[in-house]
């Protein structure tokens, strides 16, 4: 299984992939691609005041904050449970966000999907 992190603005879907929108909004373009909303937007924004922490996160910090955020982790587990069956039938998964090629919380989602998948085998 391969998980691709895609930029909503500039990238095209991988052939035969199941697509998930991982940002804070689902755009019309993604709906046209048949993407599902992963409901996994990072609650810790980059470069503007974080409503949870009250500070401005740099990019790396926003990922770290996301990684240990209990509510986000709960949503990630729900996502993996909810989508387990669908994920099992796809060789390719596209994760759509606004950030690629910059790092973002999609890396955490990618790791979790791959980890979960290898656990299945
Ligand atoms: Zn924060
Ligand atoms: Zn992102």
Q: Which domain holds residue 70?
A: 2-120
Q: What is residue 31's predicted lDDT score, i.e. its pLDDT?
A: 84
CB atoms within 10 A of CB 76: 22
Burial-class residue 11 by CB neighbours within 10 Å (0-12, 13-18, 19+).
middle
Q: What is residue 120's predicted lDDT score, i.e. its pLDDT?
A: 58
Number of domains in the chain: 1
pTM above threshold 0.75: yes
Q: What is residue 15's predicted lDDT score, i.e. its pLDDT?
A: 95
pLDDT tens sequence across 22-71:
998 778 888 888 899 999 999 999 999 999 999 999 999 999 999 999 99
Q: What is residue 8's predicted lDDT score, i.e. its pLDDT?
A: 92
Q: How far, in Å, is the centroid of ligand 1 from the Cα of 11? A: 28
Query: With 60 as the cut, is the pLDDT of residue 121 above it?
Result: no
Distances (CA, A) of 47 to 55, 88, 113: 9, 36, 27
Query: With 70 as the cut, is the pLDDT of residue 115 above it?
Result: yes
pLDDT tens sequence across 83-107:
999 999 999 999 999 999 999 999 9
Q: How far, in Å, is the centroid of ligand 2 from the Cα of 60? A: 12
Cβ proximity of 52 and 44 under 8 Å = yes
Ligand nearest the Cα atom of residue 96 = 2
Ligand nearest the Cα atom of residue 72 = 1
Q: What is residue 26's predicted lDDT score, i.e. its pLDDT?
A: 79
The mean pLDDT of 110-116, rounded to a whole number, is: 96
Q: How far, in Å, is the centroid of ligand 1 from the Cα of 69? A: 9
Q: How far, in Å, is the centroid of ligand 1 from the Cα of 71? A: 12
Ligand nearest the Cα atom of residue 97 = 2
């Amino acid at each position: 299984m391969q998980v691709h992190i895609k930029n909503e603005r500039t990238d095209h879907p991988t052939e035969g992939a199941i697509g998930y929108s991982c940002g804070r909004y689902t755009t019309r373009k993604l709906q046209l691609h048949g993407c599902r909303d992963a409901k996994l937007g990072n609650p810790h924004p980059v470069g503007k005041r974080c409503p949870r922490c009250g500070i401005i996160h740099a990019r790396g910090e926003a990922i770290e904050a996301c990684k240990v955020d209990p509510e986000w982790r709960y949503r990630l587990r729900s996502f993996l449970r909810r989508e387990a069956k669908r994920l099992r039938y796809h060789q390719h998964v596209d994760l759509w966000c606004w950030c690629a090629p910059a790092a973002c919380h999609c890396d955490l989602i990618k790791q979790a999907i791959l980890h979960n998948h290898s656990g299945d085998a």
